[in-house]
Structure 1
Amino acid sequence: MSLLQLKQVEAYYGAIQALRGVTIDVNEGEIVTLIGSNGAGKSTTLKSICGQVKIRGEVWFNGKNISDQPPHVTAQSGIAHVPEGRRIFPRLTVKENLEMGAFSVKSKSLIRERIEKSFAYFPRLKERYHQVGGTMSGGEQQMLAIARGLMMGPRIILLDEPSMGLAPVIVDQIFEIIQELNESGMTILLVEQNAYQALQIAHRGYVIQTGEIILQDNAAELLKNDQVKEAYLA
């Protein structure tokens, strides 16, 4: 059953059209990846879901049309967005960053419970609990960004280039955590330039080029597709 659907979504930056009739389905419990080159429209697709850019077309979540919702309402409805470049609060501690992620959660006990749950996925954050975010490594900041996204208790998490700028060993750790999150029941829409690793863990994938979806298939089939191999796996 579809948890998230984009139906013929178009998005513009001024006179420049960034998305051209993008249609995507993400079923509950899946990892779906969206791959493409720089400027293809991957990040804009996630921003369209979250209400950060004006769109034509429709975005449906959990059976409800959310196309015109403001971003904070979308976040509260169960969609977490971890943007490209991590964008943690660099002057706040790990603890404070996590608490900011739960901005609308009133129960202090629930916040503490979710912090403890995040430590199960990211033990390093427990070690850095009182450390200022901006002084941590890139990998630790990425872990913090994902953990902060989980603090609202989302139904789906949108991950934008989680491997960007990280050492290969840290990339492997991040992808293992993404798989663990999915195995625990989290639905994930993953935007990645590292197409090989994304398709290795995804159930299905879409390829976007100049704002249009040009291919979609099971991830295993996309890994074998000659067009994908030549453009993204070489």
Structure 2
Amino acid sequence: MSILEIDHINTYYGGIHALRGITLDVNQGEIVTLIGSNGAGKSTTLKSVSGLVKVKSGSIKFKNQDITNKPAHETTLLGMAHVPEGRRIFSNLTVKENLLMGAFSVKKKNVIEERIERVYDYFPILKERLNQKGGTMSGGEQQMLAIGRALMMKPEVLMLDEPSMGLAPIIVEKIFNIIDQLNQDGMTILLVEQNAYQALSIANRGYVIQNGEIVLSGKGHDLIENDEIREAYLA
């Protein structure tokens, strides 16, 4: 059952046609990854879904509800969390303050505390750094914090944009293990990632985007074995 449906969307940056009829879907409980070269349109796809950029034509449905061009805060309240490229944590706030910002619409203190503890279950290092300012943390710790902040809304779909960017291989492996665990615990995930092998290794399905268009799709393990994909993204 599709929880997210993107149907022939076209998105522009001024006169630049960034997305050209993108169509993809994400079923409940899946990890779906979108791979492609830098500038292919991966991040723009996520921004179009979450309402950070306007779609000129086409439609986006979340849980059968049309969310095309809804403001980002509204898509968040509907149950979709977007962890942007570059993490975008609040550098001058502590770890706990960053997490509290992720629960901006939650009113009950006991619910907030339960969700914080749940985040700590996934990312024990954040509990150790509770009062540390986000800007003084390592890149990997900041990525964990960015994901943890998104989890504070208890989303039904988690969109991750380049979670491995700039991280050491050992930290990348740890981040992907956590993404896999989140999925095993019931989280639906749409993953944008340049590290194609890592992404396809944990994904149920994948889409390949080039110049704003989907050019190939299939099961994650099938795409890993595809000769064109191996030459272009896995060499």
- Both proteins in one fold, TM over 0.5: yes
Partner AA of 2:229 in structure 1? V
Q: For structure 1, which runs of at least 5 residues remain unmatched after alignment? A: none
Question: What's 1:98 paired with?
Answer: 99
Following the alignment from structure 1 to structure 2, what is the Cα–Cα distance between the partners of residues 193 and 68?
Answer: 26
Question: What's 2:115 paired with?
Answer: 114
Question: Cα offset for 1:68?
Answer: 2.7
Q: CA RMSD in A?
A: 0.5
Partner AA of 1:54 in structure 2? K
Following the alignment from structure 2 to structure 1, what is the Cα–Cα distance between the partners of residues 108 and 199?
Answer: 35
Q: For structure 2, which runs of at least 5 residues remain unmatched after alignment? A: none
Deviating beyond 4 angstroms after TM superposition, the runs of 4 or more aligned structure 1 residues are: none
Residue 65 (structure 1) aligned with residue 66 (structure 2) = yes
Residue 214 (structure 1) aligned with residue 228 (structure 2) = no
Number of aligned positions between the proteins: 234
Could you tell me whether the CA contact under 8 Å between 2:161 and 2:193 is conserved in 1?
Answer: yes
Following the alignment from structure 1 to structure 2, what is the Cα–Cα distance between the partners of residues 194 and 69?
Answer: 30
Following the alignment from structure 1 to structure 2, what is the Cα–Cα distance between the partners of residues 200 and 193?
Answer: 13
Following the alignment from structure 2 to structure 1, what is the Cα–Cα distance between the partners of residues 9 and 185?
Answer: 30
Question: What's 1:39 paired with?
Answer: 39
Question: What's 1:230 paired with?
Answer: 231
Question: Cα offset for 1:69?
Answer: 1.1
| Aligned positions of 1:1-234 closer than 5 A | 1-55=1-55, 56-234=57-235
TM-score normalized by structure 1? 0.99
Following the alignment from structure 1 to structure 2, what is the Cα–Cα distance between the partners of residues 206 and 33?
Answer: 6
Task: Report the secondary structure of 2:100's partner residue.
Answer: helix
Identity across the alignment (%): 66
Following the alignment from structure 2 to structure 1, what is the Cα–Cα distance between the partners of residues 2 and 159?
Answer: 15
Question: Cα offset for 1:107?
Answer: 1.0
Task: Report the secondary structure of 2:33's partner residue.
Answer: strand
Question: Cα offset for 1:108?
Answer: 1.0
